[in-house]
Structures are given as structure tokens and as C-alpha cells.
Amino acid sequence: MLDLILDNARIRTLDDDRPGARTIGLWGGRIVGFDDDVRSLNAKRRINLDGATVLPGFNDVHCHTTWYGLTLASIDCTALPGGLDEVYRRIEDAARTTPEGDWINATGYGHRDYGGQYPDLDVLDRITGDRPLFLRQQSGHSAIVNTAAMERAGMLAPGFADPVGGRVVRDAGGRPTGLVEETAQELIQDLVRPYSLDTVVDCVDRATAGYASEGITSFGECGIFAGWIGHSPLEVHAYQLAREQGKLRARAQLLPMADGLHSIASHSADGYGIGLDTGLRTGFGDDWLSIGPVKIFMDGAMSGETAAMREDYAGRDTAGYLQDDPEKLRRTILDAYRSGWSLAVHAIGDLAVDHAVRNIVEAVDTYGRRSVPNRIEHAGTVHDEHLPALAEYGIAVTPQAAFARDIGAGMNVSAGPDRRRLLYRARSFVDAGVMLAGSSDRPCADGNALRGIQAFVDRLTSTGDVMGSADECLTAEQAVTAYTRTAAEASGHGAVKGTLTPGKLADLVVLGDDPLSVDPTTIKDIDVVATLVGGDFTHSTL
């Protein structure tokens, strides 16, 4: 007897051998078969879907789930209609209920949403008093803090020097403005980290409940336990607890930060470089929780103009910067790779992409291929010259079309008219045979998968322009494929999920309409009727 039969559905399998069906049968967490193979069988439950569409569950391969869970409990400063005055008002309201000396946490600030302005440090100091403030920029690559926070972090001490890969921004007179970039954020964050296991579990609970309602059945937690993007050295432990407590509603691939890898006293014959104690590496785990590639930051963000470019940003006298000395970054990549880690190299600017491609190619040529593909995270500015190598070496890319609406217009300005065609490409990757995996970078952008699919199709910015070039728009089928089949392949899981195929995991989403046939401008509005992971409902309105 089967566990579940879904009947009278429009099933799009994304499997070329059997693209469509009307009935699907599930048993033991797996897909058993379709149509006549299962229609006459008995099942514990049979549901008539009345023509609803069934797709493989969505897979967001690059997001920040714990961070997103934290934002859901923080002050939201995302594009407030009242401008900076409303930002100040929200922070001041929070200060009134925050005990003296305790932290005020806010998130979602984007300077381009406020006319390119940042909050005034004097105003922040007045409304917060001695309560330290940490207001995270939408990109996550910078933050706004007050004087109380900078004092605690030692940033105002005589002789203070900016950390490698970051800076405390100062005005013309040398006075800190309250803006801290990239690795400088760690000096602030280390005052409140590590978060407790219970806090991380609660974040995963809140975040993945939202994922389930959006049809997301798998995700990549892109950067854990170390660096400015980590939350606790025990994050893997927290994910295990969330799984055991029924608070993990989607399958998670966890990508450790390279900052946490270290030399290990192994046998000389092992040729080991850097890793984690016990020899844990990419590929360890099961279908629910697994260890993915190691995350390595090559540069910063395009939105804050810290991404490393070959030439200055348009109208500016800065080209961004790499996170460290290029040779040191290369050595980290090679040492991690020879120790069994696949690579997920964050590279947004074209200079950073140059280094990322060259270093990954060298690693593969020297030590061979891995079963879990190497990746370039974001791949924000990729020249044509790199497309053949990306395809030949099986390097996946994760450009976020979801950036288009909120920060696409600003990035067009930063890149300038001659380079904007290179921004967050999509169609060029697909046409060149490069693995293009769907992702959102949530909470840096709206993580709703259907919105991400539509953004791949239209690339529309808030001004009605397109991010980069309209030539990079995907078809709806290509966009859905990016969030399903290719996402699974790019994560090294193509054999067990990503298509609706007998024997694969029963991870699927039921939609109120078909994203491949509706007006593309309405894809984001399609209702998520139900989400199933391993044949169990994680969300349902049936």
C-alpha cells in the first residue's frame, strides 16, 4: 500500500525521459511511479488535486537561514516609506524598551533606498544613548553602528587599525561615520556572539517554516560557524537539534566558512592541508543534513561598491577590494581543496571572478575533480572569456536574479553603461553549458522562490529598467530548472532529487497554477498549495 497518491494533477517532472504525468505515487519518502503504474494501487491517502500543478520542490542553494531567522526578530529598516525619519523613529522606539547597556539589533538598511544616505551618527547616538546599535545593511557586507558599539569594539582607541579585508569608514576629518565594512563587522559581532544553541534552533524554526510556505524543500546555508557570517561554532549541532525537534522543515546543505578551517596533525602521507577536527569534509551527512563546499570570500558586495573590480566604479575613484592578499586567498583555496573540500568561492567583481576562476581551475588541475561541484557564489560580473572554463570544469554559478527589484538599479549605476551587461548574467551561462543554480542570498534579497523564478525571466528593477541586460532573461522553463534540477546537481545531489523520477526523494511542491504557462509577470503571484519533503507535508492548504 502506498503512502500517498496525488491524482488529477498537471505534473511537470523536469525529467527529460518523462516530462509530464497526471498521477504520482509516493511510498517510504520516495517517488514510486506515475499514472497507470500507480493509479490502481491502494494508498493510505489519495488526493484529487483538481488540475493543480506539481513540480519538484524548490532548492535555494545560497541563502543564510540562521541570519534570516534573526532578522525576523529584529527591527526592520527595509525601504521604509517615511525615509530616514522613520528609521530613526523605529530605532528610538526600540531604545525606549531596551535596558541600558543592552544591544539594539536592526536589519535591512539599503542606502540607495534612502537617496544614497546613511544614518547620521550624532542622531543615532542621541536616540540610543549607551545602548550599542548594530544595524545591518541589506547586503550583509556592511553595517551601521553607533558610538557605544564602536567604543566596545575598540574602534575608537588610539592606534586602531582597520582589519584585513574590511574598514571603519571615516569622514574627511578622520572621524568614524558609523559605517563598518566587510570583516570590520566581526569586531562588533564578536561582542554578541556566539549565539546560544536555543537561539539558532529558534531561528531555523522560524525561517524554514517560511520556506515551507514558499515551496522550498532544500537550501544551502552559505557560511556557518566562523567569519562575519557565522553565528556559533556549534551551528552544525544546532541544526541537528532542529532536525531532532521537528523544527527543520527543509533539507539543509551546510557550507562552513574557510575562516574556521585550520591545520591538522595528520600523517605526512595524507598530504593534508586545512580542515576540521575528525576530518569532516564536503559530502558528509545524509539526505536531511549534509556538509557542502567550503565558503571562501574573495571580495565584497556590488551594492556597497566593495566588490573587487578591474576598473573603478562608474564616477568613483574606487574599484573595491579583495578580502585578503591574492596569494593568501589562492593558498587557502588550494589547501582546502587538497584536503577534500569542494569550493564555494564568493566572487562578485570581475577582478574577484578572475582570481576565483583561475584558482579553482588550478585546484582541479592539480588535485582532480570532486563529486560535489565547485561553485562561484554570486558570479556577479563575469566576462565572456570565463564561460568556456566554467563549463569545461563543471563550475556552478549562483547569480541572484532576486537582486533585480531592490538593488538592481543601483548596481546598474555602479557598473556603468559599458559593464552593466555583465551583471548577474543568466542566459549566457545556460547557453554556454554552465550550471546555473537558483538562489536568493536571503535575507539580502526576497527569498521567495517564485519571485526568484520570475526575476530570472524579467530581471525588472524598481525603476522599470532591467538589471544588467535583457539578453540575460531566461525562459520560465529555464528558470524553474535552475531552482530544481540544476540546483540539485550543483549541490551534488542530482542523483536523489531535483526531478520527479521514480526512486528519488518525494520532495515536491503543489502550485495553484503552472509557472511554465501563465503570463510570466504573474509567476510570483501563484499560490503555493502544498509542500512535501520526503512525502510528508511541511505546508498544506489542501
Q: What is the 3-state secondary structure (H, E, C) of 162-193?
A: CCCCEEEEECCCCCEEEEEEECCHHHHHCCCC
Reading the block at residue 174, the C-alpha cell is: 578622520
| Burial status of residue 321 (CB atoms within 10 A of its CB: 0-12, 13-18, 19 or more) | buried
From first to last of the 542 residues of the chain, give the pLDDT tens digit. 999 999 999 999 999 999 999 999 999 999 999 999 999 999 999 999 999 999 999 999 999 999 999 999 899 998 899 999 999 999 999 999 999 999 999 998 988 889 889 999 999 999 999 999 999 988 888 899 999 999 999 999 999 999 988 999 999 999 999 999 988 998 998 898 898 999 999 999 999 999 999 999 999 999 998 888 888 899 999 999 999 999 999 999 999 999 999 999 889 888 888 999 889 999 999 999 999 999 999 999 998 899 999 999 999 999 999 999 999 999 999 999 999 999 999 999 999 999 999 999 999 999 999 999 999 999 999 999 999 999 999 999 999 999 999 999 999 999 999 999 999 999 999 999 999 999 999 999 999 999 999 999 999 999 999 999 999 999 999 999 999 999 999 999 999 999 999 999 999 999 999 999 999 999 999 999 999 999 999 999 99
Grid coordinates of 445: 534579497
Do residues 298 and 309 make contact, with C-beta atoms less than 8 angstroms apart? Answer: no
* Model pLDDT, residue 138: 82
Domains located in the chain, CATH noted: 2-51+503-540 (2.30.40.10), 74-186 (3.10.310.70), 297-474 (3.20.20.140)
Cell of 274: 586545512
Per-residue model confidence (pLDDT) at position 537: 98
For 437-503, the DSSP string reads -----TTSS---HHHHHHHHHH-B-TTS-BSS-GGGPPPHHHHHHHTTHHHHHHTT-TTTSSS--TT
What value, to the nearest 5°, has the Cα angle with vertex 148 and ends 144 and 152?
100
CB 445 within 8 A of CB 344: no
DSSP code, position 312:
P
Q: Are 43 and 25 in contact (CB under 8 A)?
A: yes
Cα–Cα distances in angstroms (integers) from residue 371 to residues 87, 365, 379, 435, 489, in the given order? 47, 15, 21, 14, 10
SS3 annotation, 236-292: HHHHHHHHHCCCCCCEEEEEEEHHHCEECCCCHHHCCCEECHHHCCCCCECCCEEEC
Q: Using alpha carbons only, what angle is made at residue 309 by residues 273 and 256, rounded to the nearest 5 degrees?
A: 30
> At residue 187, what is the residue type?
L
**Predicted pLDDT at 165:** 87
What single letter denotes the amino acid at residue 63?
C
C-alpha 114/C-alpha 122 separation (Å) is: 18
